[in-house]
Amino acid sequence: MVETAIFAGGCFWCMVKPFDRYQGVIKVESGYTGGHTPNPTYEEVCSKKTGHVEAVRITFDNEQITYSTLLDVFWRQIDPTDAGGQFEDRGSNYISAIFYTSEIQKEIAIKSKKTLSDMNLFKNLIVTKILPASVFYPAEEYHQDFYKKNPIRFEENEAFSSRSSFISEHWKKK
């Protein structure tokens, strides 16, 4: 059965590739959600006046990959203890959040967050929000599959970010 998962983890360019490689993931789309402005543009979201966050919407076949597995991938891409954004991307439009699309997803997300917290991997509390999904607005076409369309710029962005070192430090042996 086809389902949708929506995750915010800072820059959406960095959140597509980790999910794109899994069997059962049908599509990963960059976009905006959680705010009050209809059909926002990238520039409007960056202004921090729309209430939206950069996010990815993942369409997946739950017979091939579970929502729990997607949550595991999500947690390993972010700093769940940072309420001010993610890595070099700062501000309310870059926070981490899980947007559930059903009560079952909500329960699984809450359990997943508790399991992560119980692992004691981080010095600070986990602050990633678990929120009901609202309208998801796809980002402009040039943002879609950015890592494929602009591999050099994507690699430069990835190298500049402290995301990969954080992930390596916290998940290397897990």
pLDDT digits (tens, 9 = 90+) for 32-75: 999 999 999 999 999 999 999 999 999 999 999 999 999 999 99
User: Does residue 11 have an active-site annotation?
Assistant: yes
Assess contact for 103 and 97: CB atoms under 8 A.
no
Q: Could you tell me which CATH class the domain 2-171 is placed in?
A: alpha beta
The number of residues making up the chain comes to 174
Burial 65-104 (b: 16+ CB within 10 A, else e): bebeebbebbbebbbbebeebbbebeebbbbbbbbbbeee
Annotated active-site residue in 11, 16, 78, 95: 11
Assess contact for 131 and 99: CB atoms under 8 A.
yes
pTM of the full structure: 0.93
Relative to beta strand 25-33, strand 2-9 is: unpaired
Question: What value does the mean pLDDT take over residues 125-153?
Answer: 94
Four-residue CA torsion sign, 161, 95, 69, 147: negative
Percent of the chain whose pLDDT exceeds 70: 98
Separation CA 30–CA 32 (nearest Å): 7
Domain ranges for the chain, please list them: 2-171
How many angstroms from the chain centroid is the CA of residue 27? 14
